[in-house]
Structure 1
Amino acid sequence: MLKRKFARLPVALFAVLAIVGAQTPALAHDVRTKAASCWFHLMSGANAKYVSARGNLAGYPLQANTEYPPGTWESFCLESQGYDVFAIWSRTTGKYVSVRANVTNYPLRANADFVGPWERFTIQYSGDGTTSYLSLATGKFVSAKMNLSNYPLQANADEIGTWEKFWTADE
């Protein structure tokens, strides 16, 4: 009798896992769930270089320092958070771009596992075809700092100038 009860255990366990697995949504930060149409490259309007997340260095800041052609390190995906708010996901790190709102002049990094207040942006479209990104955490625009080595991105500009303009290109 005992042997018969345990014989059914693998079948029951498989059925439970199949049901749970079917109800569990895919993780938002899983590259397999990204639509092919969401990928794009970001180029600084100030120096015409691509924004890179440098996947080989953990916690490395986003920088506008990559020449043509862009690669995986320069691949990003916009995820709608509703109400014209977006999160930016890095293909190379598998994480969201984050602004450390509690640290002054902290560079953006693609190191957040989930979308919280520091990972939310709105997009401003300019008449010249460029886009600018306003951090909801700081209330300031993302800027490619041309006066700093390797041109790190920071969300600390009060208004849109050349350093705050970016060109986008689909992958």
Structure 2
Amino acid sequence: MNKIASTEFSNVSESEENEIEQQTQFIINDGYYSIKCSNGKFVTNDKESWPLIANRGSAKGWEKFKITNNDDGTISFLSMKNNKYVTVGSNSKLYASSNNIARNEKFSVIKINDNHFNFISMRTRQYVSADRNILATLCANRNNAHGWERFELISRE
């Protein structure tokens, strides 16, 4: 199933919303992926109580996620390690610990090029980053997208 990803921000100006809308309309496929960060490492789900972190040199079972398109144009990530959805916690860190999809488990997508993307949390309305200052822990706390906010999706079908 293909869906068009979109972003709806209630607290941005109309011109910013139009710019975001132009950048975010693309088709992304549901499927299984590994997520590679700008540090060259893969995102892993070591433990439900620990945030996701980009520290693996290769992608195996703990580094596999299922992307699902939601009806509102956002996507959600399901960790194949524990069959839990990635959620944004109160500290803005990402955890694979949710049984259901709600606002905290939804992300808008901006396509950079063929396999590279930015993700925006619908909870914090900020970009997801693999912050190298805190061991490449994934956090949704950036106002702008630069290198640490760039992710490569690698198909794992």
Q: Same fold (TM over 0.5)?
A: yes
**Is 1:144 matched with 2:133?**
no
With normalisation by structure 2, the TM-score equals 0.76
Q: Is the 8 A contact 2:52 2:138 kept in 1?
A: yes
Quote the residue 1:167 is aligned against: 152
Deviating 4+ runs (over 4 angstroms): none
Identity value in percent:
25
Quote the residue 2:52 is aligned against: 62
Take 2:154 and 2:113, find their aligned partners in 1: how far apart are those partners? Answer: 16
Greater helix proportion: 1
Quote the residue 1:40 is aligned against: 33
Take 2:149 and 2:114, find their aligned partners in 1: how far apart are those partners? Answer: 13
**Is 1:110 matched with 2:96?**
yes
Deviation at 1:129, TM superposition (A): 4.2
Take 1:107 and 1:146, find their aligned partners in 2: how far apart are those partners? Answer: 13
Deviation at 1:128, TM superposition (A): 7.0
**Is 1:119 matched with 2:105?**
yes
Take 1:83 and 1:90, find their aligned partners in 2: how far apart are those partners? Answer: 21
Take 2:45 and 2:117, find their aligned partners in 1: how far apart are those partners? Answer: 19
Q: Is the 8 A contact 2:48 2:96 kept in 1?
A: no
Structure label with greater radius of gyration: 1
Q: Is the 8 A contact 2:85 2:98 kept in 1?
A: yes
Greater strand proportion: 2
* Aligned residues: CA RMSD: 1.4
In structure 1, the residue corresponding to 2:62 is in which secondary structure?
Answer: helix
Q: Deviations over 1:59-88 (max 9, x none)?
A: 1210000002x1010000111112321111
Q: Is the 8 A contact 2:48 2:95 kept in 1?
A: no
- Select the residue among 49, 56, 60 that pairs with 1:71: 60
Q: Deviations over 1:6-53 (max 9, x none)?
A: xxxxxxxxxxxxxxxxxxxxxxxxxxxxxxx711100002x0100001
Q: Which runs of 5+ in 1 are unaligned?
A: 1-36
Quote the residue 1:3 is aligned against: none
With normalisation by structure 1, the TM-score equals 0.70
Q: Is the 8 A contact 2:118 2:127 kept in 1?
A: yes
Take 1:58 and 1:74, find their aligned partners in 2: how far apart are those partners? Answer: 13
Count residues with an aligned counterpart: 127
In structure 1, the residue corresponding to 2:81 is in which secondary structure?
Answer: coil
Quote the residue 2:74 is aligned against: 85
